[in-house]
Structure 1
Amino acid sequence: MPTNEGAFSASKPRPNSATRVPPPGRVHRGSRVTRVNAPERAAVIDLEAIRHNVRRLVQVASPAAVMAVVKADAYGHGALPVARAALEAGAAWLGVAHIEEALPLRAAALTAPLLAWLHTPDSDFGAAIAANVDLGCSGWELPRIVAAADLLGRTARIHLKIDTGLGRNGCTLTELPALLADVARHEAAGQIEVVGIFSHLAVADEPERPETDAQLATFLAAVELAHAAGVHPSIRHLANSPATLTRPDIHLDLVRTGLALYGLSPLAGRTPASLGLRPAMTLVTQIAHCKEVPADQGVSYGLNYRTPTATTLALVPLGYADGIPRIATGGPVRVNGVTYPVVGRIAMDQMVIDLGEAGLVSGGHSLLGAEAVLFGPGDGGEASVDEWAAAASTINYEVVTRISPRVPRVYRG
């Protein structure tokens, strides 16, 4: 059933609750959308929102520099377009997890400092060094990085990764003196340059928790150990998006911003608008089918939902193969200014919304081809990524990063 009061009729269609600028390839006519060579499904990425968010983060982080984290195809937004927009808006660094993510950015002639920090024994350190990609180093990677640098006759740029309490990658304080002795030796030989030292925070999205202060203390102790060993990184970086927004004392020389770059809030109870951010992704498709059904009609696999009354069902052609969590029954879909929850199980390619009496009054078939928006910035009344995250019992990070390549990206701005 619709979650907004008021229904549209065949003679007087209800207008959208706010005027929305259509993506390229669409023409709005009243409350309907005529698509002109546009994808049937699209993740519309507002690059001006990305630029706005970077400018906001630069302002908040100053005098520290901002690294735009574009790993995981820029959290599903498209690494190359986002990287370009972020650099245009004032980001000084780019960050990715894997070397394989860094190399296409270099191939596209992006020359900004670029760090890749997650490796395996099969990682191509030589390709990274040749492309002037900085490398995170927890310890085991050092001999491999040095060997690749020697083979190329180049100096590798590394950032020492410290485990300050997250328990994942990084060198512990106990192991650090031995690593620093090796690092100092290789740096003196010109094989490596220690550009940075960094760590990652575990609970910065819960600002009241004391573990962040403990991690900061451990990190600063690691920096002192490095200096005592004759290793002097010029860039210290620890803050992620939530720490960038809440802990100026952790900004140090560089902040690494991921989620906030895309206009999403990393803090429970705080909206993007309250943080000065603008969500960049809108997930949109069109109604693929409508039909009137009687009361007690089962819907989708398992027949877990049955229509309480005679109604109209509408088919939304997005499913878990497109990255929509199968568990997210109840997720909101906005059509013609009204928001409807998904009913029944989400399938591989599709989901169903129940139009209720509104569909019967209007004649549900009139909605065939109507724009259906799953989430967006909210200026058109559409749901937020956070509402879909709640429906799927997950976090906003996961919702955007899992939108699959089957959904074309369309760029504005």
Structure 2
Amino acid sequence: MSDPTGPVLPAEAVVDLGAVRSNVAALREHAASAEVMAVVKADAYGHGLVPSARAARAGGATWLGVAQLAEGLALRRAGDTGRLLSWLHVPGDDFGGALTADIDLSASAPWALDEIAAAARATGGTARVHLKIDTGLSRGGATADQWTDLVEHALRLQAEGCLEAVGVWSHLAWADAPQHPTVARQREAFDAALEIAGRRGLTPQVRHLANSAATLTSPALHYDLVRPGLAVYGLSPVPDLGSPADFGLRPAMTLQGRLALVKAVPAGSGVSYGHAYTTPADTTLALVPLGYGDGLPRAASNVGPLQVAGRRHTIAGRVCMDQVVVDLGDRPDVAQVRAGDPVVVFGDAGRGEPTAQDWAEAVDTISYEIVTRIGSRVPRRYVEEES
């Protein structure tokens, strides 16, 4: 829980880079002939950008994916030299810096192509661009009506020599339900966009559509490259269809802490703000030094699961900014619990611990949010455990 030469840590997120590496290796098996882009946006889903990216590369990821240019530039400064795609940009972004750093860029509209081309002229290079088609998510990407113009605009700039359209891609709306009709419709729309591009002379090096869910469940959507994100970190994007273990994955993050206080209280004691919980009997309460200031959802009040002394408990009362309370009950073994004892907020079901998915279900969200929201006040400690 701490460096013996440094301060004692009340809580930490232990990130198993061996798990990240083995998860990417498992995803390579699922992807078959397609290459794997490990998505490391949002500080690698809260796991740590640079360490996670290095572990993903070691597991066989030939590409990395980020949302923002700052993330890609940070990877380049850290020494990453492999293929890297950044896709969420605004006018005035540092496209020149991206091209100097050899970062592939996504474009959904002519303004993006024009700014990327201008950066290429200024730097004397040739930009590598992935054109995005909106196949039904209605988020990023050119609509079907805009697609031909985007392709032709890219081809004119390609003829000039300032960019090369190396990719065509899109994103799925409902990949976590593989039989949902939108999945088939989006595949058809993607294939139609590729056909239009081909008729105009654009043949991309890489076509990519599949996220984590499609990588694991829909081989027909793999094309040349898959883009798993959540699964890289050992969480299931389709919990209704399979656990991480069912897909050969293991969770990489364990959020754990140390009890700050253990005390006996009588029946009828109101606990924490608003007395949203009242002890039903004489009991023992334990204080956990983690709260919404660290990323625990406030909605987990009275429902968030934790493990103390090998047993699962639920948060008693409100999630506060810095702490939560746990009602340990009055079993004989509780008398042995002391301040400083470990508490696991979430980790690996294989060890009997609550999971990020358990937390997601408790507060009606997704496991993506649970791991990504763990804040910077919680230090990350990196380990290399064998599977």
Normalised TM-score (structure 1): 0.90
Amino acid at match of 1:156: A
Does residue 1:282 correspond to 2:254, yes or no? yes
What are the Cα deviations for residues 138-188 of structure 1, in whole angstroms up to 9, with x where unaligned? 013111111111111111110001100000010112111111221111101
Q: Distance in 2 between matches of 1:303 and 1:277?
A: 40
Would the aligned equivalents of 2:284 and 2:334 in 1 still touch at CA under 8 Å? no
Would the aligned equivalents of 2:271 and 2:278 in 1 still touch at CA under 8 Å? yes
Q: Which residue of 2 aligns with 1:5?
A: none
Find the partner of 2:317 among 334, 340, 344: 344
Q: Which residue of 2 aligns with 1:89?
A: 59
Aligned ranges 1:393-408 → 2 under 5 Å: 393-408=364-379
Q: Which residue of 1 aligns with 2:291?
A: 319
Q: Distance in 1 between matches of 2:290 and 2:2?
A: 21
Does residue 1:39 correspond to 2:9, yes or no? yes
Q: CA deviation at 1:207?
A: 1.2
Find the partner of 1:307 among 279, 302, 305: 279
Find the partner of 2:267 among 290, 295, 300: 295
In the alignment, structure 2 segments of 5+ residues that lack a partner are: none
Would the aligned equivalents of 1:24 and 1:412 in 2 still touch at CA under 8 Å? no
Q: Which residue of 2 aligns with 1:8?
A: none
Q: CA deviation at 1:410?
A: 0.3
Please say which of residues 59-68 and 376-385 is displaced more in the overlay: 376-385
Find the partner of 1:135 among 83, 94, 105: 105
Count of matched residue pairs: 381
In the alignment, structure 1 segments of 5+ residues that lack a partner are: 1-22, 27-34
Q: Which residue of 2 aligns with 1:114?
A: 84
Would the aligned equivalents of 2:259 and 2:341 in 1 still touch at CA under 8 Å? yes
Q: CA deviation at 1:98?
A: 0.4
Find the partner of 2:124 among 138, 153, 178: 153
Q: Which residue of 2 aligns with 1:164?
A: 135
Q: Distance in 2 between matches of 1:306 and 1:40?
A: 26
Q: CA deviation at 1:37?
A: 5.6
Does residue 1:74 correspond to 2:47, yes or no? no
Q: Distance in 2 between matches of 1:220 and 1:362?
A: 61
Q: Distance in 2 between matches of 1:211 and 1:381?
A: 36
Aligned ranges 1:185-224 → 2 under 5 Å: 185-224=156-195
Q: Distance in 2 between matches of 1:412 and 1:275?
A: 22
Q: CA deviation at 1:69?
A: 0.1
Q: CA deviation at 1:393?
A: 1.3
Q: Distance in 1 between matches of 2:334 and 2:138?
A: 57
Would the aligned equivalents of 2:120 and 2:127 in 1 still touch at CA under 8 Å? yes
Higher helix content, 1 or 2: 2
| SS of residue in 1 equivalent to 2:183 | helix
Q: Distance in 2 between matches of 1:175 and 1:224?
A: 15
Q: Distance in 2 between matches of 1:102 and 1:388?
A: 30
Does residue 1:226 correspond to 2:226, yes or no? no
Would the aligned equivalents of 2:84 and 2:104 in 1 still touch at CA under 8 Å? yes
Q: Distance in 1 between matches of 2:2 and 2:298?
A: 30
Q: Which has the higher contact order (CA 8 A, sep 6+)?
A: 1
Would the aligned equivalents of 1:68 and 1:261 in 2 still touch at CA under 8 Å? yes
Amino acid at match of 2:35: A
| SS of residue in 2 equivalent to 1:363 | helix
Residues 410, 361 of structure 1: CA spacing in aligned structure 2 closer, same or farther, 3 A cutoff? Answer: closer
What are the Cα deviations for residues 286-312 of structure 1, in whole angstroms up to 9, with x where unaligned? 000111111111111111110001111
Q: Which residue of 2 aligns with 1:353?
A: 326
Find the partner of 2:244 among 247, 268, 272: 272
Residues 377, 159 of structure 1: CA spacing in aligned structure 2 closer, same or farther, 3 A cutoff? Answer: same
What are the Cα deviations for residues 317-340 of structure 1, in whole angstroms up to 9, with x where unaligned? 000010000011221111111111
Q: CA deviation at 1:401?
A: 0.3
> Runs ≥4 in structure 1, deviation > 4 angstroms?
23-26, 35-38
Find the partner of 1:61 among 11, 31, 53: 31
Find the partner of 2:69 among 99, 111, 115: 99
| SS of residue in 2 equivalent to 1:327 | helix
| SS of residue in 2 equivalent to 1:103 | helix
Normalised TM-score (structure 2): 0.96
